[in-house]
A and B are shown apart, each in its own frame.
Chain A
Amino acid sequence: MSKGKAWKYGDDVNTDVIFPGKYTYSVLDPEEMAKHALEDLDPEFAQKVEPGDVIVAGRNFGCGSSREQAATCLKYAGVRAVVAKSFARIFFRNAINQGLPVIQCSEAVDNIEDGEDIFVDFSKGRIETAKGHFDFVPLPQSILLILEAGGLIPYIKKKIEKEKTHGANNA
């Protein structure tokens, strides 16, 4: 179970307002990226967000560019998860590949107030709010494994190492 403050936003929160394009090739360190998180949507967010906080948003969160920094900057800003009515497909993949859980749950979004503390149980698929609890379909096992590894790169690294060891044992 994870507890965090909800930061609530609307529909179509795009990658340019999450992480402006002008920084994509000049800000390379994830901790630095975090300082620009949501800069063009909510300039106060990066200063005020606390570890464990959750972003709650409407439809099509993360639409636009394929830039993975949109997920990276949120993760390094301390965001524990993003709960939205729906996600743009590349952002959805990027978030998982960065080890940032993405939860699709329209009902929860409609009932969560900006600034309230919410509790997320990832394995059960439940969000507890002041207005009651809301269930979501937990992510499939194959995707949870990527999240648990901390993202796609550590996950693939482990896999490659395992294959190497396996190959060596068979040789």
Chain B
Amino acid sequence: MGRTFSEKLLGGKAGKPARAGEIVTVSPDYILSHDNSAAIIKEFRKLEIERVKRAGKIVIVLDHVVPASSEKYAQNHKEIREFVAEQGISHFFDVHHGICHQVFSENGFALPGKLILGADSHTTSYGAFGAFSAGIGRSEAASVWATDEIWLRVPETIRIEMSGTLPAMVSAKDVILKIIGDHGADRANYKAVEFAGPAANTLSLSSRLVMANMAAEMGAKNGYFFPDEKTLTWLEENARSEYDVTVSDPDAGYEAVLAYDISVIAPQVACPHTVDNVRPVSEVEGTSFHQAIIGTCTNGRAEDLEVAARILRGKKVHQGIRVLVIPASRREYLLALQRGDLEVLAEAGCLILNPGCGPCLGAHQGILAPGEVALSTANRNFRGRMGSRDSAIYLASPATVAASALEGRIADPRKYT
């Protein structure tokens, strides 16, 4: 029997053939962290060693609360900057770059065949480029800084076989929400998710990032697409180093193969308070909300802002609805600015915020009061995540959020095609 992508990649890194279920000790190509680097530094200091083992593998992006919103956050950032200087960490991206997953990707660190670890659960994102990338905790991150190695269990793989083409105003976000709703938040726990089939290649790299990002919401260890012409063309300009394309063998063993015809998928909405509480938009149309958010590491790219601008062009957002637009990075911000989309959104009454995580994790920039409801393009809607324990979050695609912002209630974007 052939081997899956994860078996081949982790086996290659471990220097011996590996099968699902085995534990391997490996050295990552990159290790990412963000504002939590201050906490990782604290753990690292406890080890009483002076230098990180491989400064060149460490990537730090400040994004969670940027710019600092309080003295505590400012102190946090300051400690990170001092550590970066002390250890000679050159891959440091200060508060003006954007969300770590977008910044890491657009700077060419996310490459086919690389093993990437990140102290953030949405590290799964880099599978969009054919990397094996998984989230870890902060003790582990400190330990990797010190030792340059980690143990990982080789995951079993679930293959999502996609066919068809997306209908107008339906996006990768709707597909991944549909998959999560069908199979539950723990269907892929400890496992790899392979997004494949003829429809996979029709998706843009931005859309692949959406799905690999949200593989985490199925519990996945990693989620990935195989590199194709789109990936390789993009990498010609942007890859930071050499890379090896790794793909599953045709006769690889899968734990399950789940087939999806994406041409019949309707816009989907994840209802409070779990990401797998998914309904088609027709079942929640008319639900009222107070704040809309278009942004985050899931859906804050130029592609997402473009579709929102298309719906809101020449119109005004519904009175009483606050619409926050948060580009995922400075680069995506500039792209949307040059295309005129930010102007359209600002004209429509949206509040354009600086690139970063924004209110997604409830730290700043748009916290919800008790009784308030948000409709967001983010990836998580757990109780209390964006503020009050008595607030609620619905998750949807940028098109659904834009159409809903216009109508003041959850709406089907397909009528704006």
List the interface of chain A (C-beta within 8 A of B).
12, 14-17, 20-22, 24-26, 28, 39-41, 59-60, 63-68, 71, 86-90, 93-94, 97-98, 142, 151-154, 156-157, 160
Contact = CB atoms under 8 A, between A and B. Distances in A.
B139 A88 contact: no
B219 A60 contact: yes
Interface string B128-143: 0000000111111011
A65 B185 contact: no
Given A88-B219, A160-B49, A97 B140 contact: yes
A89 B48 contact: no
Which of under 10, 10 to 19, 20 to 34, or 35 or more describes the interface residues of B?
35 or more
Contacts of B39: 28, 68
A16 B189 contact: no
Contact of A24 (B142, B151, B361, B383): B361
A16 B186 contact: no
B125 interface: no
B67 interface: no
A156 B143 contact: yes
B170 to A, nearest CB: 26
A25 B64 CA distance: 9
A98 B362 contact: no
B219 A93 contact: no
B140 A63 contact: no
Given A20-B362, A152-B140, A156-B147, A88 B383 contact: no
Nearest to B146: A156
A151 B140 CA distance: 10
Contacts of B147: 156, 160
Nearest to B384: A40
Chain B interface main SS type: loop
B35 interface: yes
A30 to B, nearest CB: 11
Interface stretch (B70-78, B158-166, B201-209): B70-78
Contacts of B185: 12, 60, 63
Contacts of A86: 186, 189
Contacts of B384: 16-17, 20, 39-40
Contacts of B387: 22
Given A25-B65, A88-B219, 7 more contacts: A15-B382, A16-B362, A21-B361, A21-B363, A24-B361, A89-B189, A97-B139
A16 B387 CA distance: 11
A66 B119 contact: yes
Contact of A64 (B136, B190, B382): B382
Interface in B27-52: 35-36, 38-39, 43, 46-49
B380 A89 contact: no
B393 to A, nearest CB: 10
B385 interface: yes
Given A16-B382, A24-B36, A90-B137, A59 B186 contact: yes
A88 B362 CA distance: 22
Contacts of B183: none
7 tightest CB-CB pairs across the interface, nearest first? A60-B186, A21-B361, A16-B382, A94-B137, A40-B384, A97-B139, A68-B137
Contact of A152 (B38, B119, B139): B139
B221 interface: yes
Contacts of A71: 137
Contacts of B189: 60, 86-89
A64 B39 CA distance: 19
B274 interface: yes
Contact of A153 (B43, B73, B274, B389): B43
Contact of B120 (A12, A16, A66): A66
